[in-house]
């Protein structure tokens, strides 16, 4: 997994509308990139809704929010519409960004081992460097935790 202080790998992935979005599109802005396992699962839905509820706080600080999973563009569109998500969701079925950020890892569930996305959030500064890494975040408090970290800097 990437560490604080390292350059954030650039990526170009389709958003929920099929439009290509690159991290470099937001040069000069801070960006929250959160990786999550799957659309419409309980934890991922709570996490996305928490970001939606806190979205005005991010906008007020001119911080871009991007969620990434390996779900399809169509799945992201339905997910965004169903929960009125105001931020960007990117589709990464080839695991381009997921692997570049080191969040594709071995997971254990009920004794079964499989590979999957470990729920992780990165705060990237205006110069494109990783400012904060939050591994294995809690879905319900992730957005508020990041906002609190941003508040602490003011």
pLDDT at 138: 95
Q: Which pTM does this prediction carry?
A: 0.95
Fold of 12-151: Glutaredoxin (3.40.30)
41: CB partners within 8 A, 6+ apart:
none
| DSSP conformation letters of 22-74 | EGGGGTTSEEEEEE-S-TTSHHHHHHHHHHHHTHHHHHHTTEEEEEEESS-HH
SS3 146: helix
Contact by Cβ (8 Å): 90, 13: yes
pLDDT at 154: 46
SS3 90: strand
Nearest to 14 by CA among 86, 85, 71, 83: 71
Catalytic residue among 44, 50, 65, 88: 44
Clarify whether 44 is annotated catalytic. Answer: yes
**Secondary structure letter of residue 6 according to DSSP:** S
Return the structure tokens found at 78. Answer: 């339905």
pLDDT at 1: 81
pLDDT tens per residue, the chain (154 residues)? 899 999 999 999 999 999 999 999 999 999 999 999 999 999 999 999 999 999 999 999 999 999 999 999 999 999 999 999 999 999 999 999 999 999 999 988 888 999 999 999 999 999 999 999 999 899 999 999 999 989 876 4
């Amino acid at each position: 997994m990437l560490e604080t202080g390292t350059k954030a790998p650039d990526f170009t992935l389709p958003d929920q509308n099929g439009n290509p979005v690159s991290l470099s599109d937001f040069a000069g802005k801070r960006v929250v990139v959160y990786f999550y396992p799957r659309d419409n699962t309980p934890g991922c839905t709570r996490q996305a809704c928490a970001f939606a509820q806190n979205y005005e706080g991010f906008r007020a600080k001119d911080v871009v929010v991007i969620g990434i999973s390996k779900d399809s563009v169509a799945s992201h569109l339905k997910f965004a519409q169903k929960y009125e998500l105001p931020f960007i969701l990117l589709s990464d079925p080839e695991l381009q960004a997921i692997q570049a950020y080191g969040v594709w890892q071995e997971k254990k569930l009920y004794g079964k081992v499989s590979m999957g996305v470990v729920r992780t959030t990165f705060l990237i500064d205006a110069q494109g460097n990783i400012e904060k890494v939050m591994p294995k975040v809690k879905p319900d408090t992730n957005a508020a935790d990041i906002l609190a970290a941003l508040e602490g800097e003011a």
